[in-house]
Amino acid sequence: MEDTPAHRATASVVCYFDPSCPFVWATSRWLLEVERLQPIDLRFRIMSLSVLNEHRELEPWYREFNDRAWGPARVCAAAEALHGNAVLRDLYTALGRRVHVAGNKDYDVVIPESLDESGLPASLAKAAHTDEFDAALRASHQAGQEAVGEEAGTPVVTVDGAGFFGPVLTSVPRGEEAVRLFQATRILAGTGAFAELKRGRGALDLR
C-alpha cells in the first residue's frame, strides 16, 4: 500500500471546540465516528468564540451569543485545569447533546446536568460566572489560532500537526463516508501548498 498520510496507521488529531458552536459539534461527532472505525489519536482542546470576538463590532444577536458563550467555555477550562485534559471529551459530549441536539440553551441548567453526567464536581459550575480560569482558556484558544496561522473561528482541527479552519460540516458523516472525508482531510493537511477550500452551507442537521 502506498505510504501516504491517508494510509498510515495512526493520525494525530486535535479538535479545538467552543461548546456553544453548532458547527464544531458536527465536526467533533464526525471525528469520533472516524475514531470508532479506524485508529486515530484524537484529543479535544478548548477555543473560545467569546475571546475571538470580544473586541469586535457584531450584530446584536451574535454579540449576545458570544457574551453567553463565555459560560460553557469557562467551565470546560476549569474542568481541564483541575481534572486534566481527558475530562473534556465526556464533558463536551454531555454539554453538546443538551445544547445542540436537544436545543436547550439555558446554560445555568445545562452546565450542572452535564457536570453530573460526566462525574465532575458540581462546584465547577461557578466558573461560568467568573474569570478565574480565563488565562487558561485564552492560552488554549491561542494555541488553536497559532496552529492555523491566522485568526479563525470554530471548528479548528489539527491533523498530524497541520492546523486549519474546518472542515465545516452541516451534518455528521457516518460510516465509510466519514472515513473517506477524513482521508481526504489528511491528504490536504499534508499538502504544504493547500490553503483554502470553501462552498456555500446548507441547513444544519445535528442529529
pLDDT tens for the chain, 207 residues long, are: 344 544 556 899 999 999 999 999 999 999 999 999 999 999 999 999 999 999 999 999 999 999 999 999 999 999 999 999 999 999 999 999 999 999 999 999 999 999 999 999 999 999 999 999 999 999 999 999 999 999 899 999 999 999 999 999 999 999 999 999 999 999 999 898 988 888 888 788 887
At which residue does the C-alpha cell 458547527 appear? 23
Please say whether the beta carbons of 23 and 53 come within 8 A: no
Sheet holding 11-17, edge to edge: 40-46, 11-17, 156-159, 162-165
Alpha carbons 67 and 51: distance in angstroms, whole number:
10
Smallest CA-to-CA distance from 93 within 70, 120, 68, 66 is with: 120
Please give the radius of gyration of the chain, using alpha carbons only, rounded to the nearest integer.
17
Helix and strand numbers, DSSP H then E, in the chain: 7, 4
Q: DSSP assignment, residue 102? A: S
Return the number of other C-beta atoms located less than 10 Å from residue 50's C-beta. 22
Return the number of other C-beta atoms located less than 10 Å from residue 114's C-beta. 28
Alpha helices in the chain (DSSP H): 22-37, 49-52, 60-83, 87-96, 107-117, 134-148, 175-189
